[in-house]
Structure 1
């Protein structure tokens, strides 16, 4: 029943998102206009695709975050704190330099390969260094992401592509139109695969030895999980840019209420992720109306504040 109420709340946010913007799109104008008139065209070409993109991105990145946390066995890991987002951005830059005419699906595949390589490198580094604190894991990921991001910025500067790179990587849904967001449905399909394999990720989160003793191939589960995370991250970054802290905050908030069983908590994670993204996008559209603040900026502020809260809460509990 509570999940149904949460879904209804997300639907209300989605409906509100359809009617917020500079163009006059309201129920009276829609009822009094023909399908070819401006209000209906704005709704179908811009508002509906944008709202769907918000929901799909929120669901996919939140689920990718919880998979990453289970595989790394750390609550403070997600694509933006593991070098995954930065690696995907590097892949986009490589495509922009060497194959600028490549279709969007091709850019996504290249970004996925770079994201997978960066994530695999992060997991490899974790195996090679002693981790005496849970905070060391995201710190290593942030440092790795910083190194990759610096290299990306250097080559973008050399090829005069800094502004283009910024447009690609800044989370912003203002440019989403019909025909330019459909790749996100692939992320929805990957989320469905993650739900089917949820029990395997839960077991893998208990360690390689435990997973092997239960008869599962740990490396196969790890590869599946990292592939889903890499492809979801690449799809979202290529389509709408990076949304920081989403995959970290949402799973932690849900885990505080429901525990670590992924199959039980994943529907809540998906709904909460969609709700957070919708709410932050609405705030960014109305706080300086008629101008718009990108959702990457809004969620960066909100997410960093919630991240600090989670850190302080953990320290207080340990103390």
Structure 2
């Protein structure tokens, strides 16, 4: 943090998305899920960069993360050629690692923005069939509905190609997958850098945000079984020195967490527990920004969510008692190191 300021001097946002399903043919899968959605660099500037700048916080740079495109190279090229996206310093691109021609696809993705594609993500949340959102399975897995890629030999074959191309892997999966397969799989590749997305995605730990009558859910007792499964999985991943984690999309864990002091305190405890497992140099703050604060925070789990400055304020509270050096790692240093941002 700068002298005399309670805010960090700079931040890196290592996870956000641009979307234009109304005009991009390569986003037809996303369009089939959500219809016409438009979120472009100018909107990110207005929502995140400018509000933070006004309170004296510089956004050093960002990492654009894939948003379920039909073709990862097309998405990277689209962002790379937008002049008002010059703050994007790196990409986490889409690639289905089970493809027979995965080597060819990885080369194509890397060449879409030479020197800037740092990693690959293929959303893996799978606890069975999607069933219209009743399960913890992400709609992205409708592309392979009910198949757990983390248990797939073809996925591992593709994963093994990443180091050759200097690529990391962003892991988005359900906590039970961390327990059952992720640690064993990624432990076999100690030189491959892996970043767990979105706090490891514990799901609705207090239940739904709102009750059927529209009132706020007053439950403040965490789902002990879900928390313990998440904790077991995260501890197994934290034991691997090549694994990092993003502190992001926290409204998936506790939808509408900003509504009450009790929810905020519970979330603070989860964030600090995560940092205690991995250490500050393997944790990074991320805004996950797209569409608006509620969608970025909860992925549809609530209509409430913090704006960019409010989220920063909450993180400053979460990190009370941490040294300025530790906070600098959380807000920028870890992301710079992981994604090699210079």
TM-score, structure 2 normalization: 0.25
Q: Which structure would you say has the larger Rg? A: 1
- Whose strand proportion is higher, 1 or 2? 2
TM-score, structure 1 normalization: 0.26
- Whose helix proportion is higher, 1 or 2? 1
